[in-house]
Each structure stands twice: as C-alpha cells, then as structure tokens.
Structure 1
C-alpha cells in the first residue's frame, strides 16, 4: 500500500544503518537516472534491504526522495549567525556550501541530483528554495543592511547573491578544479583554506559596496579556520 505521509517509527538497532543505506543508494540512483526512472525495487536492491524498508522508513519513493534533500550529510541546513557579526554569518553560509565537498563523491552526486531536479522538477527543488535557500539569502540581506546601515534594495540583493555565488562555484565546478588546479580542493585542508579565502573575498565585496555608497566601515578581521591558522 502506498503511504502519502511517512509514519515515524522507532528504529531497531540496525535500523539506522538500513535507513542510511537507502539514502546512499537513493543519492546514486536518483542522481544518475532521475526520480521517475528509478524504481523502488532498484533502490532496495542497491541498498541491500527489503522493498518494505522504504515504506517503513520513508513512506514511499517520494518520501525517500524528499528525505534525500534533507540529509544533512550532503545538504546541511544553512543557519546564519546573528547579523551583528557579518564575518561569522558569511563564514557560516560559505562553510555550509564547502563542508560537504570533503565527501567528494557524495558532493558530486548531490550536484547531479539538484541538476536533475531542476530539469525534471517534482516540486522538491522549489521546496528547497523556499525552506532553505530563501531564508538563508534573506538573513544575509538583513545582515548586510545592518552592517552597511542601509535599507534593502536591488544592490543589496545583488551583493548577497554574489557572496553566495562564491561557494556555489566550488559546488558546481569540481571537475573544472580537478582539471585546472586540483590542489585547490583535493583535501579537507585545502577546502578549509579556500573557505578562508572566500570569506576574505566576500568581505572585500562588502567593503566595495560600502565605498560605492560612501559609507565608512570599521575594518573587520576575519577569523581564520582553526585548521588553517598559522
């Protein structure tokens, strides 16, 4: 029987492992084939679980697909720090984008998954925009307005999108980096160092916008990532 709403159940001792295997199999299959072309039987076979496990843990195939987009291992929620500290707020945003890259294979599959969802929409991507991307963007806009002592306008939104774009480039272009300069993101330490640089670039863009608006700002000192500090 197809369930519209997954019913929460207490996991058995091995339940979490089975649930994780299903999410891992779903990431690979949905990224490669898309939602419609992937069958429940294929998912269960790839995860080496019974078909009934999908309804037990997720309700149905659509529930598994939605859960995949909410899996913090590949798509961590973006929670910006208080707007009073813009540098740490921006670091939080960038880190949420770069941290999953340390699991390179999963990050690549996640990008494919998002691309497939945009090309073959099921409604999940729109929900991702509304529930995760838009709140993070608006929180950054609010932080920028507070930092620049200004009201929201198109240029503030442009600045917020440009800052987020620094992290998006890393997410979408793993193959480009691997071909041109693999040392930039081939280790967790390299990714942390890159995140530090992205924060500096982002704060430079903020300073440029302040200069354009003729606003005098105190000079921030971005806190380096602990693993990359000298």
Structure 2
C-alpha cells in the first residue's frame, strides 16, 4: 500500500493507470490519422497500425483486454473516462474523416454505422485475441503478423467506404428533365373540321 500511495496516490489512480499506461491512449492517434495530407487509405492504415500496435506485446495485451472486459461487465467511474477518451474521441474523428472523403457536410445515421464498423474492426481483433490464438495462432504470432492485420483491415475498410459511396450515389433522386416544348407546327388549339357541301345536283 505504501508503494501505491507513493507512486499513484490511491487505488483508483493505480486502476486508471492500468488502462492506459501500458499502451498509451487511442486518443493520441487522432492527430496522426487526421492529417489532411493523407489519402483515405493511408489514414485508415495509420489508425489500424496505431490501434493494433500494442498487440505486439502478446500476453500483456491479452491481460489488458481482460481488464477492459471486466470494466464493461462491472463498470466503475473509469468506464466513462475510457469511453470519452479511447472510444468516443477516436470515433468522432473517424466520422469526420469519412465525411470529408465522402463529401458529406455532416454525419448521418448511415455514416455513423460505417464509422462504428470501420473502427470496430480494430476493437474486434483486440477482443478476439484469445479466439484467434486458439484457432489460427500464426495470425498474431509476431509483430510482422500484427502489422499484416493493419494492412488488410485498411483494405477491407476501403471496400466498405466504396460500397457506401455507391449506395449513396444510387439513392440520390434523379434530376427531373425539363418538359419538351411543343413544335412550331403544333398548335394547342384543335383545328375545326369544316364539312364540305355537296355540289351534286
């Protein structure tokens, strides 16, 4: 207890440090992947590379995931802090990035669906480490294998963005064509037929 008080102040501060100290904060990735000079794929790759980077540490990363899952099941005050810092902030930044590349003035429900799916690819791999290691351990066996995930997830996300772009294009209402103007020889007033008088005797 003396060491905890000396280094962290109290147990709550120690518990908070365990969430972010080992691997840093996802919020710190925002300035990197939001750089205007990056293409969309480069920005997505930057996000995934940063989000998955801690998986290089193997067992330590799995222990941190267990701690986060416990916090979600039995939330303390720390959950709201983490939600704002490492979930909401990166998600809002990703929504802004996708709006920019899709030419949208603001995010709508479909854009939020796309955003949560794109960012969720990284979070799913984090939470499925145990499953991946049990079924296909080579996929997380080395830093190079983890980096390959970042490359592939960027490709998958680009496909989803392209699909959403096509969906929005198809959903746009067709521009009504102008009504055809009547030809000069056509009159709107029907012609009267005049009956010919018979000249027969």
What's the TM-score, normalizing by structure 2?
0.76
Answer yes or no: is 1:199 the counterpart of 2:154: yes
SS of structure 2 residue aligned to 1:138: helix
**1:1-230 correspondence to structure 2 within 5 Å:** 51-71=1-21, 73-78=22-27, 79-80=29-30, 81-82=33-34, 84=36, 85=38, 86-150=40-104, 151-214=106-169
Shift of 1:179: 2.4
If you compute each CA radius of gyration, which structure gives the higher value, 1 or 2? 2
Question: Higher relative contact order at CA 8 Å, sep ≥6: structure 1 or structure 2?
Answer: 2
In structure 2, what is the Cα distance between the partners aligned to 1:54 and 1:156?
A: 44
Q: Write out per-residue CA displacement over residues 166-210 of structure 1, whole angstroms, 9 at most, x where no aligned residue.
A: 111211112211222222111111111111011010111111111
In structure 1, what is the Cα distance between the partners aligned to 2:100 and 2:26?
A: 23
Task: Decide whether aligned partners of structure 1 residues 175 and 70 sit closer, same or farther in structure 2, where only a CA change above 3 A counts.
Answer: closer
Shift of 1:88: 2.9
In the alignment of these two chains, the number of paired residues is: 164
Say what the alpha-carbon RMSD is for the aligned residues: 1.6
SS of structure 1 residue aligned to 2:111: helix
Stretches of structure 2 that go unaligned for 5 or more consecutive residues are 171-201
Q: Give runs of ≥4 in structure 1 deviating > 4 Å.
A: none
2:173 alignment partner in structure 1: none
SS of structure 1 residue aligned to 2:107: coil
In structure 1, what is the Cα distance between the partners aligned to 2:139 and 2:62?
A: 16
In structure 2, what is the Cα distance between the partners aligned to 1:169 and 1:63?
A: 27
